Amino acid sequence: MSMNLVTTLYLIASICFIQALKGLSHPTTSRRGNLFGMLGMALAILTTVGLIYKLGAELATAGIGYVIVGLLVGGTAGSIMAKRVEMTKMPELVAFMHSMIGMAAVFIAIAAVVEPQSLGIVKQLGDSIPAGNRMELFLGAAIGAITFSGSVIAFGKLSGKYKFRLFQGAPVQFSGQHKLNLVLGLATLGLGITFMLTGNLGAFALMLALAFVMGVLIIIPIGGADMPVVVSMLNSYSGWAAAGIGFSLNNSMLIIAGSLVGSSGAILSYIMCKAMNRSFFNVLLGGFGGATETAGPAGAKEARPVKSGSSDDAAFLLTNADTVIIVPGYGLAVARAQHSLMELAEKLTHRGVTVKFAIHPVAGRMPGHMNVLLAEAEVPYEQVFEMEDINSEFGQTDVVLVLGANDVVNPAAKNDPKSPIAGMPILEAYKAKTVIVNKRSMASGYAGLDNELFYLDKTMMVFGDAKKVIEDMVKAVE
């Protein structure tokens, strides 16, 4: 395989990746985008395997065998996990994948530092690694280490299964936390520069250790309400780690793919920050999420009366409406009620009711979580609207049905300047003529706040598991 052919195939794979990002920018083209992404990755892998085989033949090594075994093991494990993962566990899987990308960058950097001749960085063992390559290895390894340990913490927070305090959804904060992060950041940078200038392996090892610690400290002060932004941010980090290693290996495919992932993840993080009224730079520094602590523990607030009803009552309101907007949240995913919801929407549509779905950018536990959930139930794309496109319609809507959503419809974001979520853009469900809210209980959302929407005179609470409640609504509509 000639280098010209390798370059051409990598270029084609890069075009596929760009088309993948373009396709994934809208639900109607997302399948095509995924197809382009898979084709690009398959082409990149096959080209790399061919290149390794050629280099192995020239150097009389058996490295290609290890590569094939690694591909088979990793591909098999990935396929099994993707097939078995539940929709509610998708954010955890994404965090796990980010951690693997970060660790892969660390391992490649270590291999390049220990045996640079094997990766073509130097001509023979004993030659000094050029300063430029040392800088690239430092950056790729440091970002990869931060991505790995940060993703592990994010995985634990998203899972909610582990009792270890660092894996709890509540922010973990202590006095002097930001100063410690600053000191560790400067120390990591100093050690990286030392390695770049001198090639000292001890400085490189200590830099890696501090980067792993920094990844933990950056994520632990972030509360569960902000996990969608964390997932997006870690996605960006993993891309930059891959790009940094790509420069060291002189691999154009890694550079291009990593840059695409890093820049698109950063842009998505910025969009998510705007949707939550967060500072983008605070996200990058791990300095957000703590505001939720002021809300106090869930359930500590004084009990207030609410108006509650049954599934039959909700079905009566829905069938007598001309327009209905459905707001899905994480509770819908937990109950696995998306298919029942689709059936309800179809029956209401057949009765002449105009049904639309409203999606908040940070609904669920990762970017696009609700879009994927509704797509799985085959909800028509033309019925699904983003926040900025549908907010103007709430004032003319007869009934809004809120299913498992909480903070993204809390009027306190607009009406209470002292609220921890003040200024956060929300779906303006409170403007509708009637609001129906389905929740298991009156427990607060991730932000730990009471939701004023629940106490409005126009609001009717329907308590219970979302799937059971929606199935009862379907029966009542029939």
Query: What residues have CB less than 8 Å from 111, skipping those under 6 apart?
Result: 118, 119
What is the token pair recorded at 218?
A: 């950056």
DSSP three-state, residue 175: coil
DSSP three-state, residue 424: coil
How many whole angstroms separate alpha carbon 289 and alpha carbon 163?
20
Closest listed residue to residue 391, CA positions, set 362, 425, 420:
425
φ, ψ dihedrals at 333, nearest 5°: -70, -40
Distances (CA, A) of 114 to 107, 117, 254: 11, 9, 21
- The catalytic residue among 127, 226, 407, 465 is 407
Angle between helices 338-350 and 369-376 (to 10 degrees): 70
Query: What residues have CB less than 8 Å from 470, skipping those under 6 apart?
Result: 311, 337, 340, 341, 344, 403, 438
Would residue 407 show up in a list of annotated catalytic residues for this protein? Answer: yes
Element of type H or E holding 29:
none
Characterize the bridge pairing of strands 459-463 and 354-359.
unpaired
How many whole angstroms separate alpha carbon 275 and alpha carbon 215?
24
Distances (CA, A) of 344 to 306, 321, 385: 25, 14, 18
What is the token pair recorded at 261?
A: 């992932």
| DSSP code string of 89-111 | GHHHHHHHHHHHHHHHHHHHHHH
Torsion of CA 433, 438, 443, 446, to 10 degrees: -80
Q: Provide the terminal-to-terminal Cα distance of the chain, rounded to the nearest Å.
A: 65
Q: Which residues are catalytic?
A: 407
